[in-house]
Amino acid sequence: MKFSLPAPEDMPTRYRGWHWIKTLWPYLMEYRWRVALALLCLVAAKVASVSMPFLLKYQVDHLSMADNSAIDSQGAAADWWLWFPLGLLLAYGAVRFINVLAGELRDLFFGRVTERAMRRMSLRVFNHLHALSLAFHLNRQTGALQRDIERGTQGISFLMRFLIFNIIPTFLELFFVIGLLLVNYPPVFALITAVAVVVYVVYSVRLTEWRTRYVRQANQMDSTTHARALDSLLNYETVKYFNAEQREASAYDEALAGWEQARRKNRFSLFGLNSGQAFIISLAMAMMLMFAAYYVLSGEMTIGDFTLVNAFMFQLFLPLNFLGFVYREIKASMANIERMFDLLDEKPAVDDDGKQTLQVTQGRVELRDIHFSYQPERDIIRGLDLTLEAGKTLAVVGSSGAGKSTLTKLLFRFYDAQQGVILIDGQNICDVTQSSLRAALGIVPQDAVLFNDTLKNNLLYARESATDEEIETVIRMAHLQTLIEQCPQGLDTLVGERGLKLSGGEKQRIAIARMLLKKPAIMVFDEATSSLDSRTERGIMQAIREVSAGHTTLIIAHRLSTVVDADSIAVLDQGQLAEQGTHASLLARQGLYARLWAAQQHHSNAEED
């Protein structure tokens, strides 16, 4: 398996700019008063920050003058002159405390905003992923998807905090400082500051835009390696069965090699960016110090002025240097949220545009002229007409690939047919809400996957409000008493990830009980016994016959022996209805069903021999 770095032009483009602000703006406005207080604290902190160098200047000037006054020993006046710098020192400490306190209050007020935005966005993505159609989830890589969402939510927090509390205040401080330098000192200081800032910003923006491609590549390779590792671990048993540990390690290492390559390019590009930024700042600071020293020696500036310029340089250029880091991280965060926002742009293949609620009175299901294909070049169902009468059991059989299981996906609206309609009690399922449709349907799938939770909670997943008496009833109907009695913790027994601690028959019985607890109007059994042994199959089929009596029931089956008691059997062949009737009438017809029956009987007899 080869892993190659994606070309920059292949990267998502919609959120490479600042369009994400429009998406996040409602979350900022949800706590607008907190945002306002945070901004007030921000301004207060910057005013205090700008005033500190001036207090430092006056301290230096007055201390030097106070030294001469003390030497002259001018009594009370000299004592007062000594106390005045002490007041400046106290004021300097107070202003510094106000600066720190305002920053802490700012973080306190705005913290709730960022946390709520992360919560809202995470929930929005989670709900959207559940709203996407089965086609999306069949093609996804769970590990990569999880990684994309994790990085995206963290990126949102970083963007909101650092954009408002680093970029905006740094430029606010820049305007203050340049204005104060112009008013109080020769224009060369403001000019050097302005030119250095412009050159620094232009250089940072250009270099950061260039290196963001490598951040995206590193992110994609990180997702790839994470997905590869998770996929291998989820299929742990298969890896062991085929003695493929080394093969999996080699594939994982190859994915890591791609990640390493992307990270190396990212690191070299960062070196170029940091080095250039450091050169610009160092050159500007050296020039300002040289001019400040010249003006002090010429008598146009005092030692305090020299100290003020020096303090302003450190106070201004250090945040500016940090601003370069923040901008880089903001671009990296924007790259992180691109994939998450692309997920939000994914459109479900099936739109929940129904405005009505499905009203099930009898449970009659009709399929009229259904045409469906997963890919345009291969038709799965072609012009199928089929009716499931209310309160009856319809079995759909046929060879593999005939389109049997596709019917359940269409009935649940995981996909929509390209042509034709499906009606339940005369109502087109495309005209009703998906929620009301699926509430009326219950299914026991071929592979009953359970949550890594207790037996009881897996049953309650069908209906959280079910009582203990109802749970006991469905346990009896699904013949689960023996399993419950054998488990030391009874219904509180953990079933393991995907229910791996249970046998196939036990999982199927739990799936039947869960479906019964839902109390659906229409029951669907999608090859519920195809992977079970004959003895377990007979037990499960007995349970199915008991629970489906008097209910509208659709049974998708491969083994014909499991559906001989069905009220009607529909035989599909290449997506079309070949035959329909009872077991006896179909055998008498000596058609496709009879040939399938004879083949399966011969196979069963051969196995017994």
Q: Do the first three CATH levels of 352-440+524-609 and 447-519 match, i.e. the same topology?
A: yes
Confirm if 516 and 444 have CB atoms less than 8 A apart.
Answer: no
Q: Averaged over 271-291, what is the pLDDT?
A: 84
Q: Could you give the CA distance from residue 153 to residue 472 in angstroms, rounded to a whole number?
A: 43
Q: Give the domain ranges of the chain.
A: 16-345, 352-440+524-609, 447-519
pLDDT confidence of residue 534: 65
Q: Which helix (H) or strand (E) holds 423?
A: strand 419-424
Homologous superfamily, domain 16-345: ABC transporter type 1, transmembrane domain (1.20.1560.10)
Q: Averaged over 238-265, what is the pLDDT?
A: 80
pLDDT confidence of residue 580: 92
Residue 5 confidence class, pLDDT cut points 50, 70, 90: very low
Give CA 569 to chain center in angstroms.
44
pLDDT confidence of residue 88: 63
The model's pLDDT over 39-90, given as tens digits with 9 standing for 90+, comes to 787 777 777 777 777 766 776 766 666 555 444 444 444 454 455 556 666 7
Confirm if 522 and 422 have CB atoms less than 8 A apart.
Answer: no
Cβ-based burial of 318 (10 A; exposed 0-12, middle 13-18, buried ≥19)? exposed
Residue 15 confidence class, pLDDT cut points 50, 70, 90: very low
Confirm if 101 and 11 have CB atoms less than 8 A apart.
Answer: no
Q: Which helix (H) or strand (E) holds 71?
A: helix 32-72
Beta strands in 473-605 (DSSP E): 522-526, 552-556, 568-573, 576-581
pLDDT confidence of residue 367: 92
Confirm if 206 and 330 have CB atoms less than 8 A apart.
Answer: no
Residue 568 confidence class, pLDDT cut points 50, 70, 90: very high
The model's pLDDT over 428-447, given as tens digits with 9 standing for 90+, comes to 998 888 888 888 888 888 77
Q: In angstroms, how far apart are the furthest CA atoms of the chain?
A: 131
DSSP letter (8 states) at residue 503: -
Residue 421 confidence class, pLDDT cut points 50, 70, 90: very high
481 pLDDT higher than 70:
yes
The model's pLDDT over 90-128, given as tens digits with 9 standing for 90+, comes to 777 777 787 778 777 777 777 777 777 777 777 887 877
Instruction: Using alpha carbons, select from 165, 187, 200 the residue that is nearest to residue 41.
Output: 165
Instruction: Using alpha carbons, select from 536, 534, 541, 461 the residue that is nearest to residue 502.
Output: 536
DSSP letter (8 states) at residue 167: I
Q: Could you give the CA distance from residue 492 to residue 149 in angstroms, rounded to a whole number?
A: 32
Q: What average pLDDT is seen over the chain?
A: 77
pLDDT confidence of residue 257: 85
pLDDT confidence of residue 78: 47
172 pLDDT higher than 50:
yes
Q: Could you give the CA distance from residue 428 to residue 410 in angstroms, rounded to a whole number?
A: 12
Locate 258 and state its tokens. 């791609």
Q: Averaged over 298-310, what is the pLDDT?
A: 80
Residue 570 confidence class, pLDDT cut points 50, 70, 90: very high
Of 319 and 191, the one with more pLDDT? 191
Of 596 and 5, the one with more pLDDT? 596
Percent of the chain whose pLDDT exceeds 70? 78
Q: Averaged over 332-356, what is the pLDDT?
A: 71
Percent of the chain whose pLDDT exceeds 90? 6
Fold held by 447-519: Rossmann fold (3.40.50)
Q: Averaged over 385-411, what is the pLDDT?
A: 87
The model's pLDDT over 574-583, given as tens digits with 9 standing for 90+, comes to 888 899 999 9
The model's pLDDT over 519-540, given as tens digits with 9 standing for 90+, comes to 888 988 887 766 566 666 676 6
323 pLDDT higher than 70:
no
3-state secondary structure of 70: helix
Cβ-based burial of 335 (10 A; exposed 0-12, middle 13-18, buried ≥19)? buried
pTM of the model: 0.60
How many residues make up the chain in this entry? 609
pLDDT confidence of residue 424: 92
Of 194 and 64, the one with more pLDDT? 194
Q: Could you give the CA distance from residue 347 to residue 128 in angstroms, rounded to a whole number?
A: 9
pLDDT confidence of residue 9: 37
Contacts of 167 (CB under 8 A, 6+ apart): 323, 326, 327, 330
The model's pLDDT over 282-298, given as tens digits with 9 standing for 90+, comes to 888 888 888 888 888 88
Percent helix, strand, coil in the chain, to 5, is 70, 10, 20
Residue appearing with tokens 């929005």: 124
pLDDT confidence of residue 609: 47
Tell me the angle at which helices 20-30 and 76-131 cross, rounded to the nearest 10 degrees. Answer: 110
423 pLDDT higher than 90:
yes
Q: Could you give the CA distance from residue 332 to residue 270 in angstroms, rounded to a whole number?
A: 12
Of 65 and 340, the one with more pLDDT? 340
Domain 352-440+524-609 sits in CATH at: 3.40.50.300
